[in-house]
Amino acid sequence: MRPILSRLLPIALLLLLGGCVSRGIPEATGSDEQPSARAVLQRSAEAHGLIAFRQIDDLSVSYAGEWYGLVSKIQPTLIDADFRQGSQERIIFKGSLLIGQRHLGSKGSKQVIRRSDGVQVFYNDAPADDPEVLAAAALVADGYLMFLTGPFYFLDGNLSLEIGKNEDVEGRPCTTLIAVRRPGHGLSAEDRYQLFIDSENHLLRRLRFTMEGLESTRGAVAEVDFFDHKEIAGVTWPTRFYERLRKPIPNLPVHDWQLTGLDVNRGLNAADISGPAFSGKAVASARGID
């Protein structure tokens, strides 16, 4: 059992900081896709390289970054900072979507296998069955896919999509879209999203989202900003990501990380990324980004 102090600390922090005005996501006013909103999303996907993206059967990526200390205390299972300090990830798009993540940290390795119908987790090659650990891993795996693929992620599966209020991101004017997806990401029945799309070059600059797939994050809203876009294999990818919490603690820094490697179409198959460690064509590190 956790010490009483560690159980009370997140509550105390929320009470101390949560009194500030927080910013969530506007409620959707409809239950379908507005043609104007769909046109904005389609234009963004094309600006990011939709034609080239549709030629990708599998993707190998690597990340490195830094966690901010306070959030690790509030959400230790989700952040899992002792294991999630850098990662190699493999994604198979062809057929049924399959994601494999190998996180490394001071306490060793964490392997995640995310399928559409479930998730597996291995710590230092030993399986984990804690429901909270599994739900957090599914939330992270789906979230990183969403952050990397940006507008492509929202081309299918929206319950509703509509134009929101225009806002600036880092001084750049953006059109916003409000999306509702059912199911959401992770093990969520439903999540809401706000996409901030650059009005000039149509790149996705920010994504704001709920996190209903984990009991301890229900009601929370976070956002990720995207920087330093680079064209690789015909697709314009963000290579730096910055995450902050918006609700219940406004502007709380969460994570600052970089895309350090990316290559496409190795010919990965499910067996390569379905065990407690990568095998076959999944083993080699993602090709470094210049």
Q: Where are the domains of the chain?
A: 33-282
**Cβ count within 10 A of residue 281:** 16
Give 112's strand partners: 101, 121
The total of other beta-carbon atoms located within 10 Å of residue 191's CB is 23
User: Out of 3.40.630.10, 3.90.245.10, 3.40.50.1360, 2.50.20.10, which CATH number does the structure's domain 33-282 have?
Assistant: 2.50.20.10
pLDDT for the residue 164: 97
Nearest CA to 149 among 214, 61, 211?
Answer: 61
* Segments in 18-130 forming alpha helices (H): 35-47, 50-53, 69-74, 76-79
Q: Which two tokens stand for residue 86?
A: 């850098």
Question: Which residues of the chain fall short of a pLDDT of 50?
Answer: 1-22
Q: What's the DSSP call for residue 106?
A: T
Nearest to 240, CA basis, from 260, 263, 264:
260
Structure-token pair, residue 260: 């350090």
Q: Report the distance separating Cα 248 and Cα 221, nearest Å.
A: 7
Backbone region of residue 10 per phi and psi (left: phi > 0; alpha: psi in -120 to 50; beta: other values): alpha
pLDDT score of 23:
64
